[in-house]
Amino acid sequence: MQVSEVQPFAKTVPSAGGGDELLRLGYRIAGSSADFATLDVPLSVVREAIALDISIRVTPTGTVSVSTEHYDNGGKAGNYEVSLVHLVEATLNPHNMHMEEATASELTVFLEGLEHSARLVRAAIGRLSDGQLEVRSDA
């Protein structure tokens, strides 16, 4: 018995009822057009789940702000904010450390990055204190 290579595929197909176009996901034998395992998902569902645009920024208070815009959501954005400290705490949670199989050398790189970031913040505070940075008014 010969074992054939299996290839994943995705293609759009018309809906049987003439409704929303479908995204067909599945597997086929390499070199064949015969699908042997498929799943049809309405394209609108896929478009809602996949962001068109993602922006990530860190505010001066250390909040990480993530904004997304989705294709079929009328351009409506989703927003998520979390503190940088919370992200570090979550990263260093024993369960996460175990799941990521974190090593001491990886954590050392992480610490060096955090220390470098702290030096950059201290330098910016120094420039603000010296009047070298323009301070914007939030009013």
Q: What is the pLDDT of residues 59-115, one digit of tens each?
A: 999 999 998 876 655 556 678 899 999 999 999 999 999 888 989 999 999 999 999
Whether 56 is covered by a domain: the verdict is: no
Residue 16's domain comprises 6-48
pLDDT tens digits, one per residue of 33-53: 888 899 999 888 887 777 778
What tokens does 44 get? 């609108």
The number of folded domains in the chain is: 1
Whether 43 is covered by a domain: the verdict is: yes
One-letter identity of residue 83: S
- Which pTM does this prediction carry? 0.57
Do β-strands 63-70 and 51-58 pair in parallel, antiparallel, or remain unpaired?
A: antiparallel
Whether 42 is covered by a domain: the verdict is: yes
Q: What is the DSSP string of 17-83?
A: TS-S-EEEEEEEETT---EEEEEEEEHHHHHHHSEEEEEEEE-TTSEEEEEEEETTTTT-EEEEEEE
Whether 81 is covered by a domain: the verdict is: no
